[in-house]
Structure 1
Amino acid sequence: MKAMDLAELAAFEAVARHKSFRRASEERGVTASAVSHAVSGLEARMGIRLLNRTTRSVSVTDAGAMLLSRLSLALGDIGAALDGLNQFRDTPFGKVRINVPSSIAPFVLGPVLGGLIAANPHLALEVIATDQLVDIVAEGFDAGIRLGESLRDGMTALKIAPRLRFAVVGSPGYFQKNPMPRTPDDLGGHVCIQNLYPTGTRYPWDFAKGGRAIAFQPTGPLSTDNHELMVQAAIAGVGLAYVWEDRAAQGIRDGQLLRCLDGWCQPEDWLYLYYPTRKYMSAGLRAVIQAMRA
Structure 2
Amino acid sequence: MSGLALNELNAMAAVAAHRSFRAAASELAVSPSALSHAIASMERRLGVRLFNRTTRSVSLTEAGEQFLARVQPALREIADAVESVNRFRDTPTGLLRLNASEGAAERVLPIVLDFMAAYPDMRVDMVSEGRMVDIVAEGFDAGLRLGETAPQEMIALSLGVQEAMIVVGSPAYLTRRGAPKVPADLFAHECIRARLPSGTILRWEFARQGEETRLDPPGRLVLGSPDLSLQAARGGAGLAFVNCRSASKDLASGTLIQVLADWTPPFPGIALYYPRQRLPSAGLRAFIDCFQAARLR
TM-score range, shorter chain: 0.7 to 0.9
Please say if residues 227 and 247 of structure 1, whose CA atoms lie closer than 8 Å, have aligned partners that are also in contact: no
| TM-superposition CA deviations, 1:142-192 (whole Å, max 9, x none) | 22223313638xx52313222311111111222221222222232222211
Match of 1:159 in 2: 157
Percent identity over the alignment is: 37
Please say if residues 49 and 61 of structure 1, whose CA atoms lie closer than 8 Å, have aligned partners that are also in contact: no
Distance 2:10 2:242 in 1: 42
Distance 1:122 1:255 in 2: 46
Q: Which residue identity is paired with 2:239? A: L
Match of 1:222 in 2: 221
SS in 2 for 1:266: coil
Per-residue deviation, 1:193: 0.8
Please say if residues 190 and 218 of structure 2, whose CA atoms lie closer than 8 Å, have aligned partners that are also in contact: yes
Match of 2:9 in 1: 9
Per-residue deviation, 1:289: 2.4
Q: How does 1:101-120 map to 2 (within 5 A)?
A: 101-106=101-106, 108-120=107-119
Q: Which runs of 5+ in 2 are unaligned?
A: none
| TM-superposition CA deviations, 1:40-69 (whole Å, max 9, x none) | 444555x5436265657654465x556534
| TM-superposition CA deviations, 1:53-103 (whole Å, max 9, x none) | 5657654465x5565344222222222233334434443222212121114
Q: Which runs of 5+ in 1 are unaligned?
A: none
Distance 2:49 2:279 in 1: 29
Match of 1:83 in 2: 83
Match of 2:231 in 1: 232
Q: Which residue identity is paired with 2:8? A: E
Match of 1:186 in 2: 185
Please say if residues 16 and 60 of structure 1, whose CA atoms lie closer than 8 Å, have aligned partners that are also in contact: no
Change (3 A) 1:284 1:3: farther
Distance 1:104 1:31 in 2: 29
Distance 1:216 1:26 in 2: 42
Q: Which residue identity is paired with 2:119? A: N
SS in 2 for 1:145: strand
Distance 1:292 1:171 in 2: 37
CA RMSD between the two structures: 3.1
Per-residue deviation, 1:30: 2.3
Change (3 A) 1:204 1:262: same
TM-score normalised to the size of structure 2?
0.82
Per-residue deviation, 1:233: 1.2
Match of 2:124 in 1: 125
Distance 2:23 2:200 in 1: 27
Q: Which residue identity is paired with 1:232? A: Q
Q: Which residue identity is paired with 1:189? A: A
Deviates more, 1:29-38 or 1:260-269: 29-38
Distance 1:126 1:20 in 2: 14
Change (3 A) 1:3 1:118: farther
| TM-superposition CA deviations, 1:239-287 (whole Å, max 9, x none) | 1111110010111112211112212112235543333444332112222
Match of 2:33 in 1: 33
Per-residue deviation, 1:130: 1.9
Distance 1:177 1:52 in 2: 57
Please say if residues 130 and 198 of structure 2, whose CA atoms lie closer than 8 Å, have aligned partners that are also in contact: no
Match of 1:279 in 2: 278
Deviates more, 1:93-102 or 1:52-61: 52-61
Distance 1:22 1:114 in 2: 23
Change (3 A) 1:173 1:110: farther
Change (3 A) 1:262 1:101: same
Q: Give yes or no for the alignment of 1:74 onto 2:42.
A: no
Please say if residues 164 and 265 of structure 2, whose CA atoms lie closer than 8 Å, have aligned partners that are also in contact: yes
Please say if residues 103 and 226 of structure 1, whose CA atoms lie closer than 8 Å, have aligned partners that are also in contact: no
Q: Which residue identity is paired with 1:31? A: S
Please say if residues 13 and 72 of structure 1, whose CA atoms lie closer than 8 Å, have aligned partners that are also in contact: yes
